Amino acid sequence: MDSHGRVIRDLRISITDRCNFRCVYCMEPDVRFAAREALLTTAEIVRVARIAESLGVRKIRLTGGEPTLHPDLTGIIAGIRAATSVEIAMITNASLLTRRSLGEWKNTGLGRVTISIDSLREDRFARMTRSTSSPGDVLAGMEAAIAEGLTPCKLNAVLIRGFNDDEAADLAGLARTYGVEVRFIEYMPLDSGHTWDASKWVSAAETRSAVEARFPLVACGDDEASSTSRNFAFADGAPGRVGFIAPVSSPFCGACSRLRLTADGKVRPCLFSTTEWDLRAMLRDGASDERLEAFLIDATWTKQPGHGIASPEFRQPERPMSAIGG
């Protein structure tokens, strides 16, 4: 529990800062990754997961960078499953997913996946991700995840004004086609170049209006208090749902249940924390489980009441999203 009475149930563990995309809202093309020896080992990740569960964590999200690039992803999933009973999920760009790998991860403990896709147009997708992958690759990965039963599958999209904001309804249509949940996340200042431009920000309300111009929505009314997303069903009864995550226009900090661990072992109580707690040093100095428990309790106690993106005093974190963990 933090000093504001919020109970932490969700731990997001970044297992690598490496990624095969260079998304414009996240990572510049020339970004340099951390040395491999600086990153937590599989055993260290599993140990933290076990201790976190003992303190009340019930969900673990494996993030990156791109977690499917980790050479021992199967070992990490299997280790967490053997050591805990938490729900294990993964956030991925889906470009490298196959039925074989997904089946292996499911068999070792993975429960579901969340997939990022920001455009359905090949030229825009290439400009957005600065990669050689395509929207078709991502959708094929999603179809493979659904076929392997890694559901409920969620798709995340970031809209940037003048770039892809005219695709809101097209992206929402994926929910109807595949029976998944498509969530729109407001553009946030988490890029490595620190070039975030508020004029390119698209509010959740504007995105919802664009979606409803084609697909009328009705509130689901079943959102958990700690949910980041406000979710809607299609008024005509079509399958799938649409969610809106509004950290800029409508922060949900008051009910936040999340704690983050970076790939190099730093605890971040908030996505926008400007202070980090070095857990890796303790892990490698032979700290006991009891000391690590106390450390995590103390770090959680410092969780700030909110991030204040809209405030004049807001200060962007030095680390980009790829280094923090999505």
For residue 174, count other CB atoms closer than 10 A to its CB.
21
Provide the token pair at 257. Answer: 């249940």
* 40-49 mean pLDDT: 98
Domain ranges in the chain are 10-324
Least confident of 21-35, 265-279, 310-324: 310-324
Least confident of 110-119, 273-282, 299-308: 299-308
Helix (H, G, I), strand (E, B) or coil at 158: strand
pLDDT at 25 > cutoff 90: no
User: For 152-190, what is each residue's pLDDT tens digit?
Assistant: 999 999 999 999 999 999 999 999 999 999 999 998 876
Which residues make Cβ contacts (< 8 Å) with residue 95, sequence separation at least 6? 20, 21, 66, 131, 133, 137, 138, 141
Q: What is the pLDDT of residue 196?
A: 72
> pLDDT category, 42, cuts 50, 70, 90?
very high
Mean pLDDT across the chain: 92
- Please, are residues 161 and 202 in contact by the beta-carbon 8 Å criterion? yes
* 18-32 mean pLDDT: 89
pLDDT at 53 > cutoff 70: yes
- May I ask the CATH class of domain 10-324? alpha beta
* 110-127 mean pLDDT: 97
pLDDT at 254 > cutoff 80: no
User: For 181-238, what is each residue's pLDDT tens digit?
Assistant: 999 999 887 666 667 777 899 999 999 999 999 999 999 987 776 677 899 999 999 9
User: For 277-286, what is each residue's pLDDT tens digit?
Assistant: 999 999 999 9
Alpha helices in 55-98 (DSSP H): 73-83
Residues facing 12 on adjacent strands: 61, 260
Q: How far is Cα 264 from Cα 39, in angstroms, rounded to an integer? A: 4
Helix (H, G, I), strand (E, B) or coil at 306: coil
Q: What is the pLDDT of residue 307?
A: 65
Q: Which amino acid is at 107?
A: N
DSSP 8: P
pLDDT at 43 > cutoff 80: yes
**Torsion over CA of 43, 49, 52 and 58, rounded to 10 degrees?**
-170
Q: Which amino acid is at 208?
A: R
Q: What is the pLDDT of residue 189?
A: 72
**Torsion over CA of 281, 283, 284 and 287, rounded to 10 degrees?**
100
Q: What is the pLDDT of residue 272?
A: 77
Instruction: Give pTM, 2 decimals.
Output: 0.93
Q: What is the pLDDT of residue 310?
A: 63
Select from 138, 109, 107 the least CA-distant residue to 122: 138
